């Protein structure tokens, strides 16, 4: 069975209704909504996973004329997310004046199919809607124009159908069961834990807990410190290995995966700590997030 996957960039001015549209589009199917899946190019808003497809919706900062450096970098990001989008959804507010020249400039560089979405038609009348549709068809010659009310979920399914029809054949970009309401620390600890399961045998993985004690985000590098907690000295010795060999191995593999995941350099330091029988001690379980 073939699988389709792609990036859909949602662009538009601040308050055009991008996030309302987003929520309407993905509805209950949402598996990721994260403020911070900041890979190099995308601010991922949501990923819709079905057996045979995956849609990665990515947001761009509301398009504005850059007034200072920070906004400049935000605008580069907008351009970046247009470059590798498989489809661009431009969300406009029916009641906005046609002052979208800054948006037009951005779109010039994009070869992706463009769909214009005229939002908030519940606050308008038929004549205005017709005029707006004609205006956008004339100005941008998009693949399609939809007049919708994201708030009332009106005409949203039609957009979804078009997105699905346009998705290229591609394997999924992200794990299918990637439920990310979790933060980056959680992922860092999961990655280390996974390596421990792969590298050690028997009861070792089940006696360990991984705690991220520091997670410092510098622009170029993440500095991550982790404690691997075990129950007995003998486990500590196995974990560390002769001359630190085994722990080094865990660190190398974990760091590689983290760099891929966070899309930047990672400095990782790990310590092994013995807490006798931590698994049977309520206060530790609580501290490690196992109990409410």
Kindly report whether the global pTM for this prediction surpasses the value 0.75. no
pLDDT for position 18: 74
Residue 190: exposure state from Cβ atoms within 10 A (0-12, 13-18, ≥19): middle
pLDDT in tens, 248-285: 999 999 999 888 878 889 999 999 999 887 666 666 55
The verdict on whether residue 188 carries a ligand-binding annotation is no
pLDDT for position 65: 38
Instruction: Indicate whether 162 pLDDT > 90.
Output: yes
The verdict on whether residue 11 carries a ligand-binding annotation is no
The verdict on whether residue 122 carries a ligand-binding annotation is yes
The verdict on whether residue 120 carries a ligand-binding annotation is yes
pLDDT in tens, 43-59: 566 778 888 998 888 76
pLDDT for position 91: 87
pLDDT in tens, 36-92: 333 333 456 677 888 899 888 876 544 433 344 444 444 454 444 445 678 988 888
The verdict on whether residue 202 carries a ligand-binding annotation is no
Which of these ranges, 64-78, 95-109, 155-169, 214-228, has the smallest mean pLDDT? 64-78
pLDDT for position 188: 85
The verdict on whether residue 16 carries a ligand-binding annotation is yes
Which of these ranges, 20-34, 58-72, 137-151, has the smallest mean pLDDT? 58-72
Confidence of residue 109 (pLDDT cuts 50, 70, 90): low
Domains and CATH numbers, the chain: 4-166 (3.40.50.300), 184-287 (3.30.300.20)
Residue 177 burial (CB count, 10 A): 7
The verdict on whether residue 24 carries a ligand-binding annotation is no
Instruction: Indicate whether 159 pLDDT > 50.
Output: yes
Among 196, 191, 188, smallest CA distance to 225 is for: 188
The verdict on whether residue 287 carries a ligand-binding annotation is no
The verdict on whether residue 23 carries a ligand-binding annotation is no
The verdict on whether residue 14 carries a ligand-binding annotation is yes
Residue 143: exposure state from Cβ atoms within 10 A (0-12, 13-18, ≥19): middle
pLDDT in tens, 214-240: 888 888 899 999 999 888 898 899 899
The verdict on whether residue 289 carries a ligand-binding annotation is no
Higher pLDDT, 148 or 66: 148
pLDDT for position 286: 58
CB-CB contact of 10 with 91 (8 Å): yes
The verdict on whether residue 141 carries a ligand-binding annotation is no
CB-CB contact of 147 with 120 (8 Å): no
DSSP symbols for the chain = ---EEEEEEEEESTTSSHHHHHHHHHGGGEEE--TT-B-SS-EEEEEEEETTEEEEEEE-PPP----SHHHHHHHHHHHHHHHT-SEEEEEEETTS-S--HHHHHHHHT--S-EEEEEE-GGGS-HHHHHHHHHHHHHHH--SEEEE-BTTTTBTHHHHHHHHHHHPPB---SS-TT----S-HHHHHHHHHHHHHHHH--TTGGGG-EEEEEEEEE-SSEEEEEEEEEESSHHHHHHHH-GGGHHHHHHHHHHHHHHHHHHTSEEEEEEEEEE-TTGGG-HHHHHHTTS--
The verdict on whether residue 18 carries a ligand-binding annotation is yes
The verdict on whether residue 60 carries a ligand-binding annotation is yes
The verdict on whether residue 12 carries a ligand-binding annotation is yes
Percent of the chain scoring above 90 in pLDDT: 19
Percent of the chain scoring above 70 in pLDDT: 70
**Mean pLDDT for the chain?**
76
Confidence of residue 31 (pLDDT cuts 50, 70, 90): very low
């Amino acid at each position: 069975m073939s699988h389709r996957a792609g990036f859909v960039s949602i662009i538009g001015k601040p308050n055009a209704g991008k996030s309302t549209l987003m929520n309407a589009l993905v509805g209950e199917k949402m598996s990721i909504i994260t403020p911070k899946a900041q890979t190099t190019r995308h601010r991922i808003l949501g990923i819709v996973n079905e057996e045979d497809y995956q849609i990665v919706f990515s947001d761009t900062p509301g398009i504005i004329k850059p007034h200072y450096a920070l906004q400049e970098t935000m605008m580069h990001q907008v351009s970046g997310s247009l470059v590798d989008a498989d489809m661009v959804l431009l969300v406009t507010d029916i009641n906005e004046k046609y002052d979208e020249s800054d948006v037009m400039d951005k779109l010039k560089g994009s070869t992706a199919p463009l769909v214009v979405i005229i939002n908030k038609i519940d606050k308008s009348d038929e004549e205005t809607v017709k005029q707006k549709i004609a205006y956008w068809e004339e100005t941008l010659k998009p693949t399609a124009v939809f007049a919708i009310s994201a708030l009332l979920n009106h005409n949203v399914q039609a957009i979804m159908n078009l997105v699905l029809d346009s998705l290229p054949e591609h394997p999924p970009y992200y794990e299918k069961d990637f439920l990310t309401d979790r933060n980056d620390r959680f992922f860092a600890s999961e990655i280390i834990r996974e390596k421990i399961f792969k590298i050690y045998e028997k009861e070792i993985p089940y006696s360990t807990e991984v705690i991220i004690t520091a997670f410092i985000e510098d622009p170029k590098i993440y500095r991550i410190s982790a404690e691997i907690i075990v129950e007995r000295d003998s486990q500590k010795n196995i974990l560390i290995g002769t001359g630190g060999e085994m722990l080094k191995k865990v660190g190398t593999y974990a760091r590689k995966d983290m760099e891929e995941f966070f899309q930047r350099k990672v400095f990782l330091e790990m310590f092994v700590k013995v807490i006798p029988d931590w698994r049977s001690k309520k206060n530790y379980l609580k501290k490690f997030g196992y109990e409410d």
